[in-house]
Amino acid sequence: MQPVNVHAAKTHLYRLLQRVALGETIMITKRGRPIARLMPVAQARGLADLRRHTKARRPARRQRR
């Protein structure tokens, strides 16, 4: 899995998606820290699988005033 920084990911998104379509998984980094993973849909076995492998969580609900 080759890391790619956010700027390069935005600039070369189409190329990255082509690589993902061929089966590669790509880690997106910001300031050297992983923030996202691009992977083929077949590898992501659903939301539960993605939650288990990431720290992503739903944002807290805003309270109405």
Which pLDDT value is given to residue 11? 95
CB 44 within 8 A of CB 36: no
Residue 20 structure tokens: 């993902």
The pLDDT of residue 41: 78
What pLDDT was estimated at residue 3? Answer: 92
Residue with tokens 């998984």: 25
Instruction: For residue range 16-40, list pLDDT tens digits in order.
Output: 999 999 999 999 999 999 999 999 8
CATH of domain 2-46: 3.40.1620.10
- pLDDT category of residue 47 using cuts at 50, 70 and 90: low
Q: What's the Cα-to-Cα distance from 20 to each of 40, 50, 53, rounded to whole Å?
A: 6, 16, 18
For the chain, domain boundaries? 2-46
Nearest 5°: phi and psi at 42? Answer: -60, -30
- Rounded to an integer, the average pLDDT of 32-55 is 74
